[in-house]
Structure 1
Amino acid sequence: MIDAQTLLLFSTAVLALLVSPGPNMAFLLSHGISHGARGGLAVAFGIFVADLLLTALTATGITAIITAWPPSFDILRYFGAVYLLWLAVQAIRHHGSPHLVEERKATTWSIFRMAMLNSLFNPKALLFFMVFLPQFVSPESGEVPLQLTILGVLLALIALVFHCGLGISSGKVGSLFERSATASRYFGWFHAWIFVGLAARLLLLDKPTGR
Protein backbone atom coordinates (compact mmCIF):
# COMPACT_ATOMS: atom_id res chain seq x y z
CA MET A 1 0.00 0.00 0.00
CA ILE A 2 1.10 3.56 -0.65
CA ASP A 3 2.57 5.24 2.44
CA ALA A 4 1.18 8.46 3.89
CA GLN A 5 4.25 10.50 2.99
CA THR A 6 3.94 9.61 -0.69
CA LEU A 7 0.23 10.44 -0.67
CA LEU A 8 0.93 13.82 0.92
CA LEU A 9 3.64 14.59 -1.62
CA PHE A 10 1.37 13.48 -4.44
CA SER A 11 -1.53 15.63 -3.18
CA THR A 12 0.74 18.68 -2.93
CA ALA A 13 1.97 18.15 -6.47
CA VAL A 14 -1.61 17.81 -7.75
CA LEU A 15 -2.65 21.07 -6.06
CA ALA A 16 0.36 22.86 -7.54
CA LEU A 17 -0.65 21.67 -11.01
CA LEU A 18 -4.30 22.61 -10.52
CA VAL A 19 -3.60 26.24 -9.67
CA SER A 20 -1.60 26.62 -12.89
CA PRO A 21 -3.80 28.00 -15.72
CA GLY A 22 -4.68 25.40 -18.32
CA PRO A 23 -7.40 24.32 -20.80
CA ASN A 24 -9.62 22.78 -18.10
CA MET A 25 -9.51 25.97 -16.04
CA ALA A 26 -10.33 28.12 -19.09
CA PHE A 27 -13.21 25.82 -20.03
CA LEU A 28 -14.58 25.85 -16.48
CA LEU A 29 -14.32 29.61 -15.96
CA SER A 30 -16.00 30.39 -19.27
CA HIS A 31 -18.96 28.12 -18.51
CA GLY A 32 -19.20 29.20 -14.88
CA ILE A 33 -19.38 32.86 -15.89
CA SER A 34 -21.89 32.34 -18.70
CA HIS A 35 -24.04 29.57 -17.18
CA GLY A 36 -23.74 30.28 -13.47
CA ALA A 37 -22.74 27.88 -10.70
CA ARG A 38 -24.77 25.09 -12.31
CA GLY A 39 -22.59 25.31 -15.43
CA GLY A 40 -19.37 25.49 -13.42
CA LEU A 41 -20.32 22.41 -11.40
CA ALA A 42 -21.32 20.54 -14.56
CA VAL A 43 -17.84 21.18 -15.97
CA ALA A 44 -16.23 20.12 -12.67
CA PHE A 45 -18.03 16.77 -12.70
CA GLY A 46 -17.35 16.29 -16.41
CA ILE A 47 -13.62 16.67 -15.77
CA PHE A 48 -13.97 14.35 -12.75
CA VAL A 49 -15.47 11.55 -14.84
CA ALA A 50 -12.80 12.06 -17.51
CA ASP A 51 -10.08 11.80 -14.85
CA LEU A 52 -11.57 8.52 -13.61
CA LEU A 53 -11.68 7.13 -17.15
CA LEU A 54 -8.08 8.18 -17.79
CA THR A 55 -7.10 6.55 -14.49
CA ALA A 56 -8.72 3.28 -15.59
CA LEU A 57 -6.96 3.47 -18.96
CA THR A 58 -3.62 4.09 -17.25
CA ALA A 59 -4.03 1.37 -14.62
CA THR A 60 -4.93 -1.23 -17.24
CA GLY A 61 -2.07 -0.24 -19.53
CA ILE A 62 -4.34 0.90 -22.36
CA THR A 63 -2.91 4.42 -22.25
CA ALA A 64 0.58 3.07 -22.90
CA ILE A 65 -0.72 1.02 -25.84
CA ILE A 66 -2.50 4.03 -27.35
CA THR A 67 0.45 6.39 -26.99
CA ALA A 68 2.84 3.74 -28.35
CA TRP A 69 1.01 3.90 -31.71
CA PRO A 70 2.58 6.95 -33.50
CA PRO A 71 -0.58 8.19 -35.32
CA SER A 72 -2.67 8.19 -32.11
CA PHE A 73 -1.39 11.59 -30.96
CA ASP A 74 -2.38 13.31 -34.21
CA ILE A 75 -5.71 11.49 -34.47
CA LEU A 76 -6.71 12.56 -30.96
CA ARG A 77 -5.69 16.19 -31.34
CA TYR A 78 -7.25 16.62 -34.80
CA PHE A 79 -10.49 15.01 -33.70
CA GLY A 80 -10.50 17.13 -30.54
CA ALA A 81 -9.79 20.32 -32.50
CA VAL A 82 -12.64 19.64 -34.95
CA TYR A 83 -14.99 18.97 -32.04
CA LEU A 84 -14.01 22.25 -30.33
CA LEU A 85 -14.46 24.22 -33.56
CA TRP A 86 -17.91 22.68 -33.96
CA LEU A 87 -18.74 23.85 -30.42
CA ALA A 88 -17.53 27.34 -31.36
CA VAL A 89 -19.93 27.41 -34.32
CA GLN A 90 -22.80 26.26 -32.11
CA ALA A 91 -21.98 28.94 -29.55
CA ILE A 92 -22.10 31.67 -32.19
CA ARG A 93 -25.37 30.34 -33.65
CA HIS A 94 -27.10 30.52 -30.28
CA HIS A 95 -25.60 33.75 -28.93
CA GLY A 96 -28.00 36.43 -27.75
CA SER A 97 -30.91 34.05 -27.18
CA PRO A 98 -33.75 35.65 -25.21
CA HIS A 99 -34.39 32.31 -23.54
CA LEU A 100 -30.96 32.15 -21.89
CA VAL A 101 -32.22 31.02 -18.47
CA GLU A 102 -34.28 28.15 -19.93
CA GLU A 103 -31.35 27.09 -22.13
CA ARG A 104 -29.05 26.93 -19.11
CA LYS A 105 -31.29 24.43 -17.35
CA ALA A 106 -31.65 22.35 -20.52
CA THR A 107 -27.94 22.28 -21.33
CA THR A 108 -26.49 21.19 -17.99
CA TRP A 109 -26.00 17.65 -19.34
CA SER A 110 -24.49 19.06 -22.53
CA ILE A 111 -22.00 21.11 -20.54
CA PHE A 112 -21.05 18.03 -18.53
CA ARG A 113 -20.57 16.01 -21.72
CA MET A 114 -18.54 18.75 -23.40
CA ALA A 115 -16.21 19.05 -20.39
CA MET A 116 -15.67 15.30 -20.29
CA LEU A 117 -14.95 15.02 -24.02
CA ASN A 118 -12.71 18.10 -23.93
CA SER A 119 -10.51 16.31 -21.40
CA LEU A 120 -10.61 12.91 -23.09
CA PHE A 121 -9.75 14.28 -26.56
CA ASN A 122 -6.67 16.06 -25.25
CA PRO A 123 -3.68 13.80 -26.05
CA LYS A 124 -1.60 15.63 -23.45
CA ALA A 125 -4.02 14.39 -20.79
CA LEU A 126 -3.28 10.77 -21.73
CA LEU A 127 0.44 11.47 -21.64
CA PHE A 128 0.10 13.29 -18.33
CA PHE A 129 -1.57 10.36 -16.59
CA MET A 130 0.91 7.91 -18.10
CA VAL A 131 3.93 9.97 -16.99
CA PHE A 132 2.76 11.67 -13.77
CA LEU A 133 1.10 8.85 -11.82
CA PRO A 134 3.93 6.26 -12.14
CA GLN A 135 6.36 8.71 -10.50
CA PHE A 136 4.63 8.03 -7.18
CA VAL A 137 4.37 4.26 -7.58
CA SER A 138 6.69 1.85 -5.80
CA PRO A 139 6.70 -1.79 -6.98
CA GLU A 140 7.81 -2.81 -3.48
CA SER A 141 4.57 -1.38 -2.02
CA GLY A 142 2.25 -3.82 -3.77
CA GLU A 143 0.38 -4.22 -7.04
CA VAL A 144 1.23 -1.40 -9.44
CA PRO A 145 -2.25 -1.24 -11.11
CA LEU A 146 -3.85 -0.85 -7.68
CA GLN A 147 -1.45 1.95 -6.74
CA LEU A 148 -2.13 3.72 -10.04
CA THR A 149 -5.86 3.43 -9.40
CA ILE A 150 -5.56 4.86 -5.88
CA LEU A 151 -3.44 7.77 -7.07
CA GLY A 152 -5.73 8.47 -10.02
CA VAL A 153 -8.86 8.47 -7.88
CA LEU A 154 -7.17 10.73 -5.34
CA LEU A 155 -6.16 13.13 -8.12
CA ALA A 156 -9.72 13.12 -9.49
CA LEU A 157 -11.21 13.86 -6.05
CA ILE A 158 -8.78 16.70 -5.31
CA ALA A 159 -9.45 18.17 -8.74
CA LEU A 160 -13.21 17.82 -8.22
CA VAL A 161 -13.14 19.81 -4.96
CA PHE A 162 -10.90 22.48 -6.52
CA HIS A 163 -12.98 22.76 -9.69
CA CYS A 164 -16.29 22.84 -7.77
CA GLY A 165 -15.02 25.78 -5.72
CA LEU A 166 -13.84 27.52 -8.87
CA GLY A 167 -17.10 26.78 -10.64
CA ILE A 168 -19.23 28.21 -7.83
CA SER A 169 -17.03 31.32 -7.61
CA SER A 170 -17.14 31.94 -11.36
CA GLY A 171 -20.91 31.39 -11.23
CA LYS A 172 -21.26 34.23 -8.75
CA VAL A 173 -19.27 36.48 -11.07
CA GLY A 174 -21.47 35.43 -13.96
CA SER A 175 -24.63 36.27 -12.01
CA LEU A 176 -23.50 39.90 -11.94
CA PHE A 177 -23.23 39.98 -15.73
CA GLU A 178 -26.52 38.15 -16.13
CA ARG A 179 -28.38 41.27 -15.08
CA SER A 180 -27.01 43.07 -18.12
CA ALA A 181 -28.76 42.24 -21.41
CA THR A 182 -25.74 43.55 -23.31
CA ALA A 183 -23.34 41.25 -21.45
CA SER A 184 -25.63 38.24 -21.93
CA ARG A 185 -25.66 38.90 -25.67
CA TYR A 186 -21.91 38.42 -25.92
CA PHE A 187 -21.66 35.20 -23.88
CA GLY A 188 -21.96 33.14 -27.07
CA TRP A 189 -19.05 34.93 -28.67
CA PHE A 190 -17.07 34.62 -25.43
CA HIS A 191 -17.59 30.84 -25.54
CA ALA A 192 -16.73 30.68 -29.21
CA TRP A 193 -13.35 32.34 -28.68
CA ILE A 194 -12.60 29.98 -25.78
CA PHE A 195 -13.35 26.97 -28.00
CA VAL A 196 -11.29 28.37 -30.89
CA GLY A 197 -8.38 29.03 -28.51
CA LEU A 198 -8.51 25.50 -27.13
CA ALA A 199 -8.68 24.07 -30.67
CA ALA A 200 -5.64 26.13 -31.72
CA ARG A 201 -3.79 24.94 -28.63
CA LEU A 202 -4.45 21.30 -29.60
CA LEU A 203 -3.30 21.85 -33.18
CA LEU A 204 -0.08 23.55 -32.03
CA LEU A 205 0.88 20.86 -29.53
CA ASP A 206 4.35 19.45 -30.07
CA LYS A 207 4.26 15.79 -30.90
CA PRO A 208 6.35 13.81 -28.38
CA THR A 209 9.35 12.06 -29.89
CA GLY A 210 10.49 8.66 -28.77
CA ARG A 211 14.05 7.80 -27.85
Structure 2
Amino acid sequence: MIEYSNLFYFISTSIVLTLLPGPDILFVTVQSISNGKKAGILTAFGLCTGLIMHTIAASVGISAIIYNSALGFSLVKYVGAAYLIYLSINALFEKNGSNFEKTVVKEPVNLYRKGIFMNLLNPKVSLFFLAFLPQFVNSDYGNIPIQMIILGIIFTIQAILIFSAVSILSNAVSLKVFENKKFQKYVCPLKASVFGILGIKLAFFER
Protein backbone atom coordinates (compact mmCIF):
# COMPACT_ATOMS: atom_id res chain seq x y z
CA MET A 1 0.00 0.00 0.00
CA ILE A 2 0.97 3.66 -0.44
CA GLU A 3 0.18 6.45 2.00
CA TYR A 4 -2.71 8.55 0.63
CA SER A 5 -1.13 11.92 1.44
CA ASN A 6 2.04 10.85 -0.35
CA LEU A 7 -0.04 9.69 -3.29
CA PHE A 8 -1.75 13.09 -3.59
CA TYR A 9 1.56 14.95 -3.59
CA PHE A 10 3.04 12.43 -6.00
CA ILE A 11 0.24 12.84 -8.55
CA SER A 12 0.28 16.65 -8.22
CA THR A 13 4.05 16.80 -8.67
CA SER A 14 3.93 14.33 -11.55
CA ILE A 15 1.40 16.44 -13.45
CA VAL A 16 3.49 19.58 -13.03
CA LEU A 17 6.68 17.82 -14.12
CA THR A 18 4.98 16.26 -17.14
CA LEU A 19 3.65 19.64 -18.28
CA LEU A 20 7.07 21.30 -18.06
CA PRO A 21 8.81 21.73 -21.45
CA GLY A 22 11.05 18.70 -21.91
CA PRO A 23 12.16 16.13 -24.50
CA ASP A 24 9.06 13.94 -24.19
CA ILE A 25 6.45 16.64 -24.58
CA LEU A 26 8.43 18.28 -27.41
CA PHE A 27 8.73 14.92 -29.16
CA VAL A 28 4.97 14.37 -28.94
CA THR A 29 4.28 17.91 -30.12
CA VAL A 30 6.43 17.76 -33.26
CA GLN A 31 5.02 14.35 -34.21
CA SER A 32 1.49 15.72 -33.83
CA ILE A 33 2.30 18.80 -35.91
CA SER A 34 4.01 16.89 -38.71
CA ASN A 35 1.99 13.66 -38.81
CA GLY A 36 -1.27 14.30 -36.98
CA LYS A 37 -2.76 13.72 -33.54
CA LYS A 38 -2.91 9.93 -33.95
CA ALA A 39 0.82 9.89 -34.65
CA GLY A 40 1.39 11.99 -31.53
CA ILE A 41 -0.70 9.65 -29.39
CA LEU A 42 1.08 6.56 -30.76
CA THR A 43 4.40 8.22 -29.97
CA ALA A 44 3.12 9.04 -26.49
CA PHE A 45 2.26 5.39 -25.85
CA GLY A 46 5.78 4.45 -26.92
CA LEU A 47 7.30 7.04 -24.60
CA CYS A 48 5.16 5.81 -21.72
CA THR A 49 6.14 2.20 -22.39
CA GLY A 50 9.69 3.41 -21.95
CA LEU A 51 8.68 5.03 -18.65
CA ILE A 52 7.39 1.68 -17.37
CA MET A 53 10.70 0.07 -18.30
CA HIS A 54 12.61 2.84 -16.50
CA THR A 55 10.39 2.32 -13.46
CA ILE A 56 11.22 -1.39 -13.36
CA ALA A 57 14.91 -0.63 -13.86
CA ALA A 58 14.88 1.87 -10.99
CA SER A 59 12.96 -0.47 -8.67
CA VAL A 60 15.35 -3.41 -9.14
CA GLY A 61 18.52 -1.30 -9.10
CA ILE A 62 19.51 -1.39 -12.78
CA SER A 63 19.32 2.39 -13.05
CA ALA A 64 21.68 2.74 -10.08
CA ILE A 65 24.16 0.41 -11.77
CA ILE A 66 24.09 2.48 -14.97
CA TYR A 67 24.44 5.71 -13.00
CA ASN A 68 27.46 4.42 -11.09
CA SER A 69 29.12 3.04 -14.22
CA ALA A 70 30.87 5.76 -16.23
CA LEU A 71 31.07 3.49 -19.27
CA GLY A 72 27.44 2.36 -19.05
CA PHE A 73 26.17 5.90 -18.55
CA SER A 74 28.22 7.28 -21.45
CA LEU A 75 27.20 4.42 -23.72
CA VAL A 76 23.47 4.96 -23.16
CA LYS A 77 23.88 8.73 -23.45
CA TYR A 78 25.79 8.74 -26.73
CA VAL A 79 23.64 6.07 -28.35
CA GLY A 80 20.58 8.12 -27.40
CA ALA A 81 22.13 11.32 -28.76
CA ALA A 82 23.08 9.55 -32.00
CA TYR A 83 19.52 8.25 -32.36
CA LEU A 84 18.08 11.75 -32.01
CA ILE A 85 20.59 13.12 -34.54
CA TYR A 86 19.56 10.31 -36.89
CA LEU A 87 15.89 11.32 -36.50
CA SER A 88 16.88 14.93 -37.17
CA ILE A 89 18.69 14.06 -40.41
CA ASN A 90 15.85 11.74 -41.44
CA ALA A 91 13.33 14.57 -40.91
CA LEU A 92 15.26 16.80 -43.32
CA PHE A 93 14.72 14.28 -46.11
CA GLU A 94 11.00 13.90 -45.50
CA LYS A 95 8.67 15.45 -48.04
CA ASN A 96 7.76 19.01 -47.20
CA GLY A 97 4.21 19.62 -46.20
CA SER A 98 2.06 18.19 -43.48
CA ASN A 99 0.32 14.89 -42.98
CA PHE A 100 -1.72 15.96 -39.97
CA GLU A 101 -4.98 16.00 -41.92
CA LYS A 102 -4.74 12.28 -42.66
CA THR A 103 -6.93 9.94 -40.65
CA VAL A 104 -4.74 6.88 -41.26
CA VAL A 105 -1.25 6.88 -39.75
CA LYS A 106 1.47 5.22 -41.77
CA GLU A 107 3.81 2.85 -39.91
CA PRO A 108 2.11 3.05 -36.47
CA VAL A 109 4.48 0.42 -35.07
CA ASN A 110 7.45 2.55 -36.14
CA LEU A 111 6.06 5.59 -34.31
CA TYR A 112 5.45 3.51 -31.19
CA ARG A 113 8.98 2.11 -31.42
CA LYS A 114 10.46 5.59 -31.79
CA GLY A 115 8.80 6.62 -28.55
CA ILE A 116 10.23 3.63 -26.70
CA PHE A 117 13.76 4.21 -28.01
CA MET A 118 13.51 7.92 -27.26
CA ASN A 119 13.03 7.19 -23.56
CA LEU A 120 15.12 4.06 -23.12
CA LEU A 121 18.16 5.75 -24.66
CA ASN A 122 17.87 8.82 -22.45
CA PRO A 123 19.77 8.36 -19.16
CA LYS A 124 18.21 11.56 -17.83
CA VAL A 125 14.87 9.75 -17.62
CA SER A 126 16.52 6.86 -15.81
CA LEU A 127 18.16 9.21 -13.28
CA PHE A 128 14.90 11.11 -12.84
CA PHE A 129 13.01 7.98 -11.78
CA LEU A 130 15.93 6.87 -9.61
CA ALA A 131 15.78 10.18 -7.72
CA PHE A 132 12.03 10.90 -7.88
CA LEU A 133 10.22 7.67 -6.99
CA PRO A 134 12.02 6.85 -3.70
CA GLN A 135 10.88 10.19 -2.23
CA PHE A 136 7.31 8.89 -2.12
CA VAL A 137 7.82 5.39 -0.73
CA ASN A 138 7.60 4.34 2.89
CA SER A 139 9.15 1.18 4.29
CA ASP A 140 6.26 0.94 6.77
CA TYR A 141 3.87 0.29 3.88
CA GLY A 142 5.47 -2.85 2.52
CA ASN A 143 7.82 -3.85 -0.27
CA ILE A 144 9.64 -0.76 -1.58
CA PRO A 145 10.26 -2.01 -5.16
CA ILE A 146 6.54 -2.82 -5.48
CA GLN A 147 5.66 0.66 -4.21
CA MET A 148 8.02 2.17 -6.80
CA ILE A 149 6.45 0.14 -9.60
CA ILE A 150 2.93 1.23 -8.54
CA LEU A 151 4.05 4.86 -8.47
CA GLY A 152 5.67 4.44 -11.87
CA ILE A 153 2.44 3.07 -13.32
CA ILE A 154 0.48 6.00 -11.86
CA PHE A 155 3.03 8.42 -13.33
CA THR A 156 2.71 6.71 -16.70
CA ILE A 157 -1.10 6.89 -16.71
CA GLN A 158 -1.15 10.62 -16.06
CA ALA A 159 1.61 11.10 -18.66
CA ILE A 160 -0.44 9.26 -21.31
CA LEU A 161 -3.46 11.46 -20.57
CA ILE A 162 -1.44 14.67 -20.74
CA PHE A 163 0.52 13.67 -23.84
CA SER A 164 -2.71 12.68 -25.61
CA ALA A 165 -4.23 16.07 -24.77
CA VAL A 166 -1.06 17.78 -26.04
CA SER A 167 -1.29 15.77 -29.28
CA ILE A 168 -4.89 16.84 -29.89
CA LEU A 169 -4.18 20.48 -29.04
CA SER A 170 -0.99 20.62 -31.13
CA ASN A 171 -2.81 19.15 -34.10
CA ALA A 172 -5.69 21.62 -33.76
CA VAL A 173 -3.31 24.59 -33.62
CA SER A 174 -1.20 23.30 -36.52
CA LEU A 175 -4.27 22.87 -38.71
CA LYS A 176 -4.98 26.57 -38.29
CA VAL A 177 -1.39 27.74 -38.69
CA PHE A 178 -0.56 25.56 -41.68
CA GLU A 179 -3.76 26.21 -43.62
CA ASN A 180 -1.52 28.53 -45.58
CA LYS A 181 0.52 26.30 -47.91
CA LYS A 182 3.64 28.45 -47.65
CA PHE A 183 4.01 27.55 -43.97
CA GLN A 184 3.92 23.81 -44.64
CA LYS A 185 7.48 23.83 -45.98
CA TYR A 186 8.69 24.69 -42.47
CA VAL A 187 7.24 21.56 -40.83
CA CYS A 188 10.15 19.21 -41.58
CA PRO A 189 12.92 21.75 -40.78
CA LEU A 190 11.16 22.49 -37.47
CA LYS A 191 10.98 18.78 -36.68
CA ALA A 192 14.65 18.29 -37.61
CA SER A 193 15.69 21.27 -35.46
CA VAL A 194 13.89 19.97 -32.37
CA PHE A 195 15.40 16.48 -32.70
CA GLY A 196 18.84 17.94 -33.37
CA ILE A 197 18.76 20.24 -30.36
CA LEU A 198 17.57 17.42 -28.09
CA GLY A 199 20.35 15.18 -29.40
CA ILE A 200 23.07 17.77 -28.82
CA LYS A 201 21.77 18.57 -25.33
CA LEU A 202 21.78 14.88 -24.45
CA ALA A 203 25.33 14.41 -25.77
CA PHE A 204 26.61 17.12 -23.40
CA PHE A 205 24.51 15.99 -20.41
CA GLU A 206 26.56 15.15 -17.32
CA ARG A 207 25.55 13.22 -14.22
Deviation, structure 1 residue 198: 0.5
Equivalent position of 2:13 in the other structure: 13
Counterpart amino acid of residue 182 in structure 1: K
**Residues 108, 174 of structure 1: CA spacing in aligned structure 2 closer, same or farther, 3 A cutoff?**
farther
**Residues 62, 95 of structure 1: CA spacing in aligned structure 2 closer, same or farther, 3 A cutoff?**
same
Post-superposition CA distance 1:83-125 (Å, at most 9, x none): 1111111111113269886797213332222122111111111
Post-superposition CA distance 1:155-178 (Å, at most 9, x none): 101111111111111111122245
Q: Name the stretch that deviates more: 112-121 or 172-181.
A: 172-181
Answer yes or no: is the 8 Å Cα contact 1:87–1:192 preserved in 2.
Answer: yes
> Within 1, Cα distance between the matches of 2:61 and 2:143?
13
Q: Name the stretch that deviates more: 56-65 or 147-156.
A: 56-65
> Within 1, Cα distance between the matches of 2:201 and 2:98?
32
> Within 1, Cα distance between the matches of 2:45 and 2:89?
24
Please report the RMSD computed on the Cα atoms of aligned residues, expressed in angstroms: 2.0
Equivalent position of 2:181 in the other structure: 181
Q: Name the stretch that deviates more: 72-81 or 173-182.
A: 173-182
* Map 1:35-54 → 2, pairs under 5 A: 35-54=35-54
Answer yes or no: is the 8 Å Cα contact 1:32–1:170 preserved in 2.
Answer: yes
Percent pairwise identity: 29
Deviation, structure 1 residue 67: 1.8
Counterpart amino acid of residue 127 in structure 1: L
1:76 matched to 2:72? The reply is: no
* Map 1:141-160 → 2, pairs under 5 A: 141-160=141-160
> Within 1, Cα distance between the matches of 2:166 and 2:147?
28
Answer yes or no: is the 8 Å Cα contact 2:88–2:196 preserved in 1.
Answer: yes
Deviation, structure 1 residue 145: 1.1
Gaps of 5+ in 2: none
Answer yes or no: is the 8 Å Cα contact 2:35–2:98 preserved in 1.
Answer: no
Equivalent position of 1:110 in the other structure: 110
Gaps of 5+ in 1: none
Aligned length: 207
Equivalent position of 2:22 in the other structure: 22
TM-score normalised per structure 1: 0.90
TM-score normalised per structure 2: 0.92
